[in-house]
Homo-oligomer: A and B are copies of this chain.
Amino acid sequence: MVNFQGNETVRMEAFSDGVFAIDITLLTFQLKAPSLRAATSSHSLAMALFDQWPNYIAYFVSFTTIFIIWLNHHRMYNVIQQSDSRFMFYNGLLLLLVSIVPFTTSLLADYINTPAHQLSSVLYMLLFAGISWTLLIMWNYATDNYRLLKRPAADVRIQTVRTSHLISTVTYVLAAGLSLLVPFLSILVGLAMVVYLSRLKYHREKVI
């Protein structure tokens, strides 16, 4: 295990921010102007746009989820001082998984309204479970023996954050299983987890 220069986390954060920003923006390709052969009226265009409602929902859930994951990634790095090879590997895995979100989003949007909605929902939820699990692994590795934390680390809510990422991972896995029975459950769970993960605090005290 090699330690890198002191500015290592700065560069890794900047690169990660770039990948997050691009992935969240690539979701836009989900939204496409319908190609009407005969755009006879605003009414027919409205109907065509309305038929795309799964795309809008999938876009909204994925956009907010990636935003919240970025927020948690960012808060995590706020209490981390340094990085090492293994932590960089975990970070690369996180970026790999986040980069797949536009693909599963596209799958969900295309198939949630078809008989094949179950598989698309399961894959959508399992990817989010994998991302949550990676965040959990990163946090466990960084906080184990205060390995990568800034000193003093007494005010870091190590255990609370562990529990929260464990809860979110389990919830996503359960939602994947249940979406076999209840269609659209993945959408609701996805939105609920956005709210849950947005409230996660990494510091016991207010940070100035």
Contacts and interface: CB of A to CB of B under 8 A. Distances in A.
A102 B28 contact: yes
Nearest to A106: B33
A208 B31 contact: no
Contacts of A74: 11
Given A2-B201, A15-B21, A46 B119 contact: yes
Contacts of A3: 206-208
Given A92-B64, A208-B6, A115 B42 contact: yes
A103 B25 contact: no
A196 interface: no
B28 A103 contact: yes
Q: Is the interface of A mostly helix, strand, loop or mixed?
A: helix
Contact of A71 (B17, B88, B111): B88
A122 B74 CA distance: 37
The number of times this chain is found in the oligomer is 4
A123 to B, nearest CB: 8
Contacts of A67: 92, 95-96
Contacts of A207: 2-5
Contacts of A114: 36, 39
A14 interface: yes
A20 interface: yes
A185 interface: no
Contacts of A100: 28, 31
A27 B98 CA distance: 13
